[in-house]
Structure 1
């Protein structure tokens, strides 16, 4: 399927995107469904302590699942290049996509800011870092992303032609100039630029704070854990969201004809499907955030801790006394317990 621009000398074929979308969405559906359902089960049924961080992560998992549930319709559409599911489901599908992309960025930002407060201001932030305030923040995030998603999906109507019906594509130049360009600017600033700056700022301040010798003793955690958290957060933003949003801004300029250049348009319309697929993979990466950020989440994944303890201790069958297996086992067990005790008592996760 070729796409002509208003400049007839510039003929662009981006039909590769349909097979690309269908293949990537198939993988994301399987992995995203398994990992996020498992994560949600941990949050709802296995975690005994639901603090502010768990509230943010639960909402992030819900956002990912809402998008994953719409993927079978997108998979069918891209492989068959026909949308038979009606206009309403087309709008819901578009809303779920935008909600996932920008909801993920905002909820990840909430987690990053929460960790920043806990590490940089461990005592002063106790009155701020509450479950009630976290619930209010999450509600605000949902209002923002749903407002942007619903506004954009108003134009996600199906376009019926003789051979097929399209969904969420084929917008006219006038729609791009009048509405979609403004919506794009709004979601880029609120959903991408501000969260990116907040994440980079919080990460840099946390790293600077960790250089102080007394910091780790005050917060009761280890430097390696915090560094892993920062690496995972920044990596998801850099890998998933920065390329997509950068190309989206250029793509909007091209489609609204603010930039009329065939080479730039070809580049934007070729890279847009690729970066979009990478961005949607965030719902498969988010469970890594849960694992590296929350100690309670890690502990909840231990299905049978008794078996694990048996590897550290030997039981004397005659006296029924529990003895350490080896000096190395005992040292490792003490270190693990001390680390968990400090983490649970002094640093909420």
Structure 2
């Protein structure tokens, strides 16, 4: 059973479904996502690390978000190769690495966005109360980012343990899969529920509560005070975080909804179901290359810093 974002279907027995159109189209789509995502996220990392004015708390979290997306796009060519070869030729160790990174991509984006949402809530709360935040520093953001990575690694650890190369006894075909103990179906359902709760239900519920409270406090302030809730710069950052979050949820919600469908129904494998499955997979992949464009459109400081980096200065 392969349960990363690489595959949403369970293929039972020795039956494999192969479609020429998908064989050609999917590598093209994945290659575009890889090229765009690797270029865009590398540019984000470069700008934030090199431009002095970009060293802010929010940008520290954006930096780690870009690193997580870059890590995934770096290994995407291996997923493309597996799709084209129709078997796994890369060995046990790389199988564990690839499946782990598949799952890092599921958890890291939403957890860093949760941290960014908490940060936005604290900023709004401090602004409403006209208080300063001496503890909100670039160094503190580094420590929090490190803690998020540790948390994600711990969450993904069970998948790393169960990842391995399975050899089909009938035709000798090797596959990189999650090899669960008996009863496999029960372990498979448990893994999907675990991913749904830890990778979607908990962080998304937290984010929704935070933004609801944030909007409530801003609304009350507009009603009870003539002062502006946020200055122009803070408003822009808050809007940017909200839009990045909305795009992330748009790309990932179908994946997690498919988990609910897989757990509650017994759908037969049909061409339509396979097409929907690969569309959902491609949509979740696409999230790794969209964020840099959002920063470029929504963040003036990022756009200016990037242009400055591209300037050709005379010797």
TM-score between the two structures when normalised by the length of structure 1: 0.71
**Count of residues paired in the alignment:** 296
Match of 1:121 in 2: 126
Whole-angstrom distance in 2 between the partners of 1:273 and 1:305? 37
> Does residue 187 of the first structure (1) align with residue 188 of the second (2)?
no
> Does residue 108 of the first structure (1) align with residue 113 of the second (2)?
yes
Whole-angstrom distance in 1 between the partners of 2:227 and 2:299? 17
> Does residue 32 of the first structure (1) align with residue 37 of the second (2)?
yes
Which has the higher mean CA deviation after the structures are superposed, 210-219 or 280-289? 210-219
Alignment check: 8 A CA contact 1:3 1:14 kept: no
Residue 57 (structure 1) shift? 0.9
Gaps of at least 5 residues in structure 1 are 254-258, 308-349
Match of 2:28 in 1: 23
Distance 1:45 1:223, change over 3 A: closer
Residue 158 (structure 1) shift? 1.5
- Give the match's secondary structure for 1:301: helix
Alignment check: 8 A CA contact 2:72 2:102 kept: yes
Which has the higher mean CA deviation after the structures are superposed, 197-206 or 161-170? 161-170
Whole-angstrom distance in 2 between the partners of 1:12 and 1:260? 21
Higher relative contact order (CA 8 A, sep 6+): 2
Residue 299 (structure 1) shift? 2.9
- Give the match's secondary structure for 2:177: coil
Whole-angstrom distance in 1 between the partners of 2:17 and 2:228? 59
1:152-171 equivalences under 5 Å are 152-161=159-168, 162=171, 164-168=173-177
Alignment check: 8 A CA contact 2:27 2:84 kept: yes
Residue 69 (structure 1) shift? 0.9
CA RMSD of the aligned region, Å? 3.6
Residue 70 (structure 1) shift? 0.5
Match of 1:248 in 2: 259
Residue 141 (structure 1) shift? 1.5
The one of 145, 148, 169 equivalent to 2:155 is: 148
Q: Find the structure with the greater CA-based Rg.
A: 1
Alignment check: 8 A CA contact 2:240 2:298 kept: yes
Distance 1:107 1:262, change over 3 A: closer
Gaps of at least 5 residues in structure 2 are 1-8
Which has the higher mean CA deviation after the structures are superposed, 210-219 or 90-99? 210-219
Whole-angstrom distance in 2 between the partners of 1:64 and 1:234? 14
